[in-house]
């Protein structure tokens, strides 16, 4: 989850707590940018910022990903995954972390420039839809082929064309401070958020500039329907919801005591326990007993110079011990049914009674319109 990259200097109460998917400081916006910083245009340079160089051994695999996967200030799986892969294969793993993430490669493909990477790690249903809507030329990714993905949970598969293979997931939930006031208790339902008792108590994120905010918006659309979600958000506005730009903005405000509830992730207590925080200030609430699932996937670039090694890497990521290691370091849930996750981690990472999500087909052709309608209404009040 990309949210773990929240800047350590932001002054929040949880030491080294970071932006997750979710997720990371770079929550993907819905337009062409793919970072939570709000950048809208990819930079077409030949060498992306953040490229890791190392000596070649039996072969080099270039893995493109979002930067906190490699160098988050709190915890990230990149270095560990590199060591594990290189110890299992006669190969060298090199990371590319361009500032604009997947949009960097869309721009290169549309410009007819070589991709110079073999695998992308960090796709989700929203970015895949955006990719397919903006790609002008040949396919960016190839089919997964013989990747050993038999243990991936069927509910997490999000690519109808069989390119992206899930490797982890996160769940959007409310995080609340039960010590606020005189024993604060978050509501159990979406309708409960509209009660006068919770006026001004909720912090959320802008779905146009934050993957976390977008997931929460999609959950409200699932709960209230395409014809009812705007009325629901109008009622939330009337009840004082505060919508900030990014996950890090909202979580910093929450940690500073500006409101007792924030839209975040159900792994929040993992961070809190590591920092010896009071877990009473990091309670999880699944509205309507549901959490919005935000799976992340990986795919091989169509013109990779190492197609076989790329698929070996993808199969490697799905091994039980690697799935557990990524989940712990990425503060997420594994994508497979046989992942080996430590018991103490499972104690704090909470899964919802029911996971909900929109499929690729449901998002395609609808996502941009839903967000534009939300922006138009939200700004008009």
Look at the block and give the residue holding tokens 């900030």.
244
Q: Is the pLDDT of residue 159 over 90?
A: yes
- Do 153 and 246 lie in one domain? The reply is no
Mean pLDDT of 103-122: 96
Q: Has residue 357 been placed in a domain?
A: no
- The angle that helices 211-224 and 247-255 make with each other, rounded to 10 degrees, is 90
- Do 15 and 149 lie in one domain? The reply is yes
- Do 113 and 17 lie in one domain? The reply is yes
- Residues forming beta bridges with residue 370, ordered by sequence position: none
Percentages (nearest 5) of helix, strand, coil residues in the chain = 35, 15, 45
- Confidence grade of residue 181 (pLDDT, cut at 50, 70, 90): confident
Q: State residue 343's pLDDT score.
A: 87
Burial class (CB in 10 A: 0-12, 13-18, 19+), 362: middle
Q: Has residue 358 been placed in a domain?
A: no
Q: What is the pTM of this model?
A: 0.80
Q: Has residue 360 been placed in a domain?
A: no
Among 249, 270, 254, residue whose Cα is nearest residue 36: 249
- Confidence grade of residue 114 (pLDDT, cut at 50, 70, 90): very high
Q: Is the pLDDT of residue 155 over 60?
A: yes
CATH number of the domain where residue 135 is located: 3.40.190.10
Q: Is the pLDDT of residue 8 over 90?
A: no
Mean pLDDT of 31-48: 34
Residues 6+ apart with CB under 8 A from 201: 240, 259, 260, 261
- Stretch among 124-138, 210-224, 290-304 having the lowest mean pLDDT: 124-138
- Confidence grade of residue 48 (pLDDT, cut at 50, 70, 90): low
Give the domain range for residue 70.
Answer: 2-165+294-352
Half-sphere exposure in the Cβ direction for 279 (13 Å, CA): 10
Q: State residue 290's pLDDT score.
A: 98
- The angle that helices 320-330 and 307-317 make with each other, rounded to 10 degrees, is 80
Q: Has residue 79 been placed in a domain?
A: yes
Question: What is the C-alpha separation between 87 and 146, in angstroms, rounded?
Answer: 22
Q: State residue 73's pLDDT score.
A: 65
- Do 298 and 287 lie in one domain? The reply is no
Q: Has residue 191 been placed in a domain?
A: yes
- Stretch among 8-12, 216-220, 304-308 having the lowest mean pLDDT: 8-12
Q: Has residue 344 been placed in a domain?
A: yes
Residue 112's alpha-carbon distances to 87, 101, 132, 242, 300, in angstroms, are 35, 18, 16, 43, 18
Q: Has residue 331 been placed in a domain?
A: yes
Q: Has residue 179 been placed in a domain?
A: yes
Q: Is the pLDDT of residue 4 over 70?
A: no
- In the three-class reduction of DSSP (H, G, I as helix; E, B as strand; rest coil), residue 168 is classed as strand
- Do 159 and 26 lie in one domain? The reply is yes
- 272, 347 in Cβ contact below 8 A? no
- Do 160 and 175 lie in one domain? The reply is no
pLDDT in tens, 243-259: 999 898 999 999 999 99
Question: What is the C-alpha separation between 169 and 60, in angstroms, rounded?
Answer: 28
Q: State residue 46's pLDDT score.
A: 41
- Do 251 and 302 lie in one domain? The reply is no
- Do 134 and 33 lie in one domain? The reply is yes
- The angle that helices 229-238 and 367-380 make with each other, rounded to 10 degrees, is 30
What's the angle, vertex CA 127, arms to CA 338 and CA 269, rounded to 5? 50
Q: Is the pLDDT of residue 35 over 90?
A: no
Q: Tokens at residue 140, please?
A: 């960016």
Q: State residue 346's pLDDT score.
A: 84
Q: What is the DSSP string of 189-214?
A: STGGGGSGGGTT-EEEE-TTT-HHHH
Q: State residue 303's pLDDT score.
A: 95
Residue 309's alpha-carbon distances to 54, 136, 146, 163, 314, in angstroms, are 17, 27, 11, 16, 9
- Do 13 and 117 lie in one domain? The reply is yes
Max intra-chain CA distance, the chain: 64
Residue 92's alpha-carbon distances to 56, 127, 208, in angstroms, are 6, 28, 37
Among 324, 341, 336, 337, residue whose Cα is nearest residue 77: 324
- Do 38 and 60 lie in one domain? The reply is yes
Among 211, 274, 315, 276, residue whose Cα is nearest residue 1: 211
Number of domains the chain contains: 2
Please report the beta strands in the chain, taking only residues with DSSP state E, as ranges in sequence order: 2-3, 23, 60-65, 92-96, 119-123, 165-176, 202-205, 242-244, 261-265, 283-285, 290-300, 333-334, 354-356
Residue-averaged pLDDT of the chain: 86
- Do 253 and 371 lie in one domain? The reply is yes
- Do 278 and 231 lie in one domain? The reply is yes
- Confidence grade of residue 183 (pLDDT, cut at 50, 70, 90): confident
Q: State residue 334's pLDDT score.
A: 97
Q: Is the pLDDT of residue 206 over 60?
A: yes
């Amino acid at each position: 989850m990309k949210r773990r990259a929240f800047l350590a200097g932001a002054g929040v109460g949880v030491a080294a707590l970071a932006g997750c998917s979710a997720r990371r400081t770079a929550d993907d916006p819905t337009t062409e940018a793919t970072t939570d910083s709000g950048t809208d245009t990819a930079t077409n340079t030949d060498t992306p910022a953040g490229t890791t160089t190392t000596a070649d051994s039996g072969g080099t695999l270039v893995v493109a990903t979002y930067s906190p996967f490699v160098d988050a200030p709190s915890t990230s799986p990149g270095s560990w995954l590199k060591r594990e892969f290189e110890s299992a294969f006669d190969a060298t793993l090199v990371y590319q972390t361009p500032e604009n993430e997947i949009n960097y490669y869309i721009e290169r493909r549309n410009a007819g420039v070589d991709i110079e990477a073999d695998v992308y790690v960090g796709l989700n249903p929203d970015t895949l839809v955006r990719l397919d809507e903006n790609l002008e030329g040949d396919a960016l990714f190839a089919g997964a082929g013989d990747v050993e993905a038999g243990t991936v949970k069927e509910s997490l598969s999000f690519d109808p064309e069989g390119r992206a293979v899930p490797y982890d997931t996160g769940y959007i939930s409310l995080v609340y401070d039960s010590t606020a006031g005189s024993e604060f208790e978050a509501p159990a339902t979406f309708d409960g958020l509209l009660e006068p008792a919770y006026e001004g108590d909720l912090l959320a994120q802008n779905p146009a500039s934050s993957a976390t905010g977008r997931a929460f918006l999609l959950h409200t659309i699932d709960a209230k329907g395409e014809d009812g979600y705007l009325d629901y958000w109008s009622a939330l506005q009337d009840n004082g919801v505060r919508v900030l730009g990014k996950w890090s903005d909202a979580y910093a405000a929450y940690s500073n005591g500006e409101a007792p509830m924030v839209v975040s992730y159900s792994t929040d207590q993992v961070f809190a326990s590591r920092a010896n925080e009071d877990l009473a200030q990091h309670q999880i609430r699944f509205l309507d007993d549901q959490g919005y699932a935000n799976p992340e996937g990986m795919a091989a670039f169509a013109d990779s110079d190492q197609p076989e090694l790329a698929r070996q890497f993808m199969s490697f990521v799905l091994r039980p011990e690697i799935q557990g290691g990524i989940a712990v370091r990425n503060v997420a849930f594994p994508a497979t049914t046989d992942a080996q996750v430590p018991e103490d981690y499972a104690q704090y990472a909470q899964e919802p009674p029911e996971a909900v999500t929109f499929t690729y087909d449901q998002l395609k052709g609808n996502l941009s319109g839903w967000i534009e309608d939300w922006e138009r209404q939200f700004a008009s009040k």
